[in-house]
Amino acid sequence: MKPVLTPVWIGLVTTNAFLFALWVATYLYRSDPSGQEGLGFLVSYLLLPIAFLVTLATVSILLNSVFIRVTDTGTRTVLMGLSLILFVFLYGKPSVIVIALALGFFAVGYFAGRKENKDANDLKQFLEK
C-alpha cells in the first residue's frame, strides 16, 4: 500500500482545518448577542467547543478527500494557498498565539502522518513475506 498523502500534506490539512475551526468559533463568540444576558456562559462552554469540533472534522474530511483525488503537487499548493488566503480574508490578521497553535497542529498532523506511513510500509513488508 502506497500512502496517499505525505506527512507534510497531512500536517498542512490539519493546520488548515484548525484555522477554519478557530475562525468559526471566534465568529460565533464575537457575534453572540446574549453575552450580556447570562447566556454567554452557555455559548462559551457548550456551543463554541461543539462548533469548533464539528468544523474541524468537516474541513479535515473535505480537504483530505480533495487532496487524495488531486495528486499534482502544484495544484495542491495552489489550493492550500487559496485556502489560507481565504482564512486571512475571513479571520483577519492572526495573532502570535494563533500562529503558535497552528504550528502545534502542524506538528501533530505531521508526526501522525509519519506514523501512518510507517505503519503502511510495515504492513506492506509483512504481507510481502
Check residue 107 and give its pLDDT.
Answer: 92
If one counts every other C-beta atom within 10 angstroms of the C-beta of residue 120, the result is: 14
Model confidence, pTM: 0.80
Measured distance CA(103)–CA(83) in Å, rounded: 16
Check residue 34 and give its pLDDT.
Answer: 61
If one counts every other C-beta atom within 10 angstroms of the C-beta of residue 38, the result is: 8
Check residue 54 and give its pLDDT.
Answer: 92
pLDDT tens, per residue, the chain with 129 residues: 455 678 888 888 989 999 999 888 888 777 766 655 666 666 677 788 888 899 999 988 998 888 888 888 888 889 989 988 999 898 888 889 999 999 999 999 899 888 888 888 888 888 887
Check residue 94 and give its pLDDT.
Answer: 86
Check residue 35 and give its pLDDT.
Answer: 57
Pairs from 64-73 (Cβ < 8 Å, separation ≥ 24) = 64/5, 64/13, 67/5, 67/9, 67/13, 68/4, 68/5
